[in-house]
Structure 1
């Protein structure tokens, strides 16, 4: 598809009559782009829906289609999308519940708020895929019934459904009070006993590595338990019993579960698998004694995870600061620190700790300004995007501390036009910040024009409405189709140029 037409399709300044022309000429790709427009009228919506069922589905989920716009016989997927949105009539649901195509019944089973008689039909469906899908979203009454289903796939879905009654989630962990399973995905297709090898050569095989069944459906039972242990509606007392289970994959959700007795957490702190201890380290329910114990744990990711604990004592945070892998979001304990705590942390001799403080974006002015005068480049990189820094402060950071800090200054939402223009003139590797400049709402025209010289920033800058029409005309002939598409989508493109692009 012509990238200029794809861009034109979403151009908010495209006149209505030209939208009509594009719809008339649209293939499925172009129709999909046109469906993204926010100004489509009723006639345009119906015309687009008639171009392709995929586009009709897109419009249904966007809330543009009405039941009278769709024929469920010729566009069943669009009708199912309306049912999924709660906008389709009950008659459609009853029709699809008896549809011979499994994929239609399966899609129907995803829909919420179906009539009870339709749910009854789906719960009794002869194809386990339909019942499995229904069990994922079923309300409590139906989840309770489906917990007794003989197939493991259905019970796995019930185990992950937060509407399942807690007592049944506990039963799914042990199997107590439930009828025996009679099927799983392994014994459905293989003679038991069977263990699926990880290097299975069959290209059409749907089994997963390690799938096994000896008549007890052991891998399927493991999956049911895994789902139930991750389900927050499962009673804590039932979860706690799995703290010593032989499978680390089942102990891991126990370690993450809040509200368990402290002795359970103490046992998990001695788990032989570092992954389990790392998950435990972030659990808000562990006490300070256990946090201090885990602070000495050299297992993979344990200390780093502990640094993300929301109630970590500040002395432990100071010890763990060097283990943290910085991210865009401040650590929970930093985010909840009081102004007095922040002031103490920001005055630390440890640059790694000051850097963690600098990643907050709501620092008191005094702390923010003090960190902007820091001597450590890591701290300056962290503070440079902080809102509230003046143009003078940002220019001082750019001029005094090189490329790394300049790159971060370009991300500051309060960067002024003067700052961004200075950044656009930075030589050498600092040109990597062109992408951030091209996205910045305060970028002046000279800076945007400079961004057009950078291959990565060029498609972003081409979409900026501040560009003059003459620049956009040049961009429509660019070798990069992303640039052409962005220029054609630019609302500053002259109307006569829009008309010239139409087939």
Structure 2
């Protein structure tokens, strides 16, 4: 029964009187779905919030509840949500700043545009997580002030704040000009006992080694950290720091050379995609013995085509469009389309903005992998799509089924293919042009069945049967189908 009610809550065609009945029996999870409905007016939003207090939070975030609807004493979480949206009076912020619940003060600290006196009070809060939230999201001046906080969780929050100035970030790396930190989440016991329980693998022997490592990792990930200060960690013995460094797009070449020879594959893989690499280093990493590093090099935005094509021939690169191919010039695109190398033609076949002549040539390609890659490209004619199926059979059927221009008659033929092409059935089940006969065939596949059950072209008589399906996902999809007759929707609801 719950799957049916959840489906009804998602159904865009649910009549208003049935929506009211659903609100009257909503629990926490059902209320979350109802809160996202486009037809939930203010009166129904208030009714839903009174039925399930947790729903008031999402309703406040989505603008369905305003400050006039919310009493902070009754719905404090919704009041904090309105503060987070900047849609509540400053008096609420001042009241929450002295709330005895530290979690509410922490949530307040994450709100933008707080009055200066509230920010000042939160910066002095005795609970580190409250101050850390302020340090993470506050303006540059607040971050600069809190960099000297005695708790390392606050300093790490400063390191993750987008507004933190470069000089402050550099000081966090070196410690210059900062008093020694006195607490970390492992050794701290005052103010916030929960943070005295370390995470798995964290340790503190008196010098907060785990927390300091996490802090430096955050600083190295920050794009505002001065590159020369960051580059000094290319030889650091801790792999997580070298991995964070390898992802920086402003690395000096000397640091790139060191990291390209790093003994940890994860570090080399991160570096291989880095736009900071020059062509020579990309070539070095493209020849790495580890296939993951070669795949990462293939994703480099400026990898040379004479490097990328051999990689595509020898290393599985998946089915996504690579960044270098997405930005290929018209001349380069034509070069790839005309290549005698199938791997080159397949690379460019994943583009969905090809000129019509290039698209059609690839659709006529004798290589099945090339044809399968271009099959979903919009604009292909029915004749070409059918010719692809005749030429390559099952190998291109999934791509043809995913093409937005595939006509209904061809979808029906693909759905009836024996033996079934299951991935094609899943594409057909969600295709806007799918017809009842095609959808009926999709119902035979376990993974396509829930998709087909939600398709508006499915006949009502079939939908009725799916409401009693053994699979809860199918029942939910059928109940959410806008083609379900209102009388059937009403039948699914308990009597008021």
- Band of TM-score, shorter chain: over 0.9
Please name the residue that 1:107 is paired with.
Answer: 107
1:416 and 2:407 aligned? yes
> 1:486 maps to which residue?
477
1:128-277 to structure 2, matched below 5 A, reads 128-188=128-188, 206-277=197-268
Match of 2:329 in 1: 338
SS in 2 for 1:428: coil
1:402 to 393, 397, 401: 393
Residue in structure 1 matching 2:463, options 472, 488, 493: 472
Deviations 1:189-231 (A, max 9, x none): 59xxxxxxxxxxxxx9942344232322122111111000000
- Alignment partner of 1:326 is 2:317: yes
- Aligned residue number for residue 54 of structure 2: 54
Moved more, 274-283 or 432-441: 274-283
TM-score w.r.t. structure 2 length?
Answer: 0.94
Does structure 1 conserve the Cα–Cα contact (< 8 Å) formed by 2:202 and 2:210? yes
Residue 323 of structure 1: CA displacement?
A: 4.8
Shift of residue 179, structure 1, vs aligned partner: 0.8
User: 1:67, 1:87 within 8 Å by CA — same for their partners in 2?
Assistant: yes
Cα distance in 2 between the residues matched to 1:454 and 1:256: 43
Of residues 111-120 and 427-436 in structure 1, the stretch that sits farther from structure 2 once superposed is: 427-436
Distance 1:279 1:455 in 2: 38
Report if aligned partners of 2:368, 2:396 keep a CA contact under 8 Å in 1.
Answer: yes
Separation (CA, whole Å) in 1 of partners of 2:422 and 2:269: 39
Aligned counterpart, 1:86: 86
Superposition deviation, residue 300 in structure 1: 5.2
**Any conservation in 1 of the 2:360–2:380 contact (CA below 8 Å)?**
yes
Kindly provide the CA deviation profile for residues 164-183 of structure 1, in whole angstroms up to 9, marking residues without a partner as x: 11100000001001111111
The aligned residue for residue 95 of structure 2 is 95
1:284/1:309 contact within 8 Å kept: yes
SS in 2 for 1:243: helix
Q: Structure 2: how far apart are the matches of 1:205 and 1:443? A: 57
| Distance in 2, Cα, partners of 1:304 & 1:205 | 41
Task: Report the secondary structure of 1:410's partner residue.
Answer: helix
Secondary structure at the counterpart of residue 434 of structure 2: coil
Hey, what does 2:25 align to over in structure 1?
25
Partners of 1:449 and 1:340 in 2: how far apart? Answer: 46
Residue 418 of structure 2 corresponds to: 427
Identify the range of structure 1 (220-229 vs 261-270) with the bigger mean alpha-carbon deviation.
Answer: 261-270
C-alpha distance in structure 2 between counterparts of 1:5 and 1:248, whole Å: 50
Output one character per residue of 1:277-305: Cα deviation in whole Å (capped at 9) or x when no partner.
22222221222222233333324522221
The alignment status of 1:314 with 2:310, answered yes or no, reads no
* 1:293 paired to 2:284: yes
Shift in Å at residue 45 of structure 1?
0.8
Structure 2 counterpart SS, 1:81: helix
| Structure 2: runs of 5 or more not aligned | none
> Which residue in 2 is equivalent to 1:279?
270
Secondary structure at the aligned position of 2:178 is classed as: coil
Contact 2:216 2:241 (C-alpha < 8 Å) held by counterparts? yes
Q: Matches of 1:98 and 1:385 in 2, distance apart?
A: 58
CA shift in 2, pair 1:323/1:166, >3 Å: farther
* Match among 372, 377, 380 for residue 381 of structure 1: 372
When residues 474 and 260 of structure 1 are mapped into structure 2, their CA distance, relative to the original with a 3 A threshold, is closer
Give per-residue Cα distances to partners, 1:112-156, cap 9 Å, x unaligned. Answer: 221111111111110111111221111101000110101111101
The answer to whether residue 429 in structure 2 is matched with residue 438 in structure 1 is yes
**Cα 1:313/1:174, change in 2 over 3 Å:** same
**Correspondence for 1:450:** 441
How far off its partner does 1:479 sit? 2.5
Q: Secondary structure at the match of 1:9?
A: helix
Which residue does 1:38 correspond to in 2?
38
Q: Supply the distance in 2 between the matched residues of 1:103 and 1:447 (Cα, whole angstroms).
A: 53
Q: Deviations over 1:255-286 (max 9, x none)?
A: 22223332232232232333222222222122
Give the aligned CA root-mean-square deviation in angstroms: 2.0
Decide which of 453, 477, 486 is 1:462's aligned counterpart. 453
Contact preservation (8 Å) 2:26, 2:52 = no
Pick closer, same or farther for the CA change 1:10–1:211 going to 2, 3 Å.
closer
Q: Is contact 2:186-2:197 (8 Å) kept? A: no
1:379-420 per-position Cα deviation (integer Å, ceiling 9, x unaligned)? 222111111211111112223323231122111121111221
Alignment partner of 1:423: what SS?
helix
Q: Which residue of 2 aligns with 1:117?
A: 117
Question: Aligned partners of 2:279, 2:90: CA distance in 1, in Å?
Answer: 56
DSSP 3-state at the match of 1:67: coil
Q: What is the number of equivalent residue pairs in this alignment?
A: 490
1:485 to partner: Cα distance: 2.1
Whether contact under 8 Å (1:97, 1:122) holds in the other structure is: yes
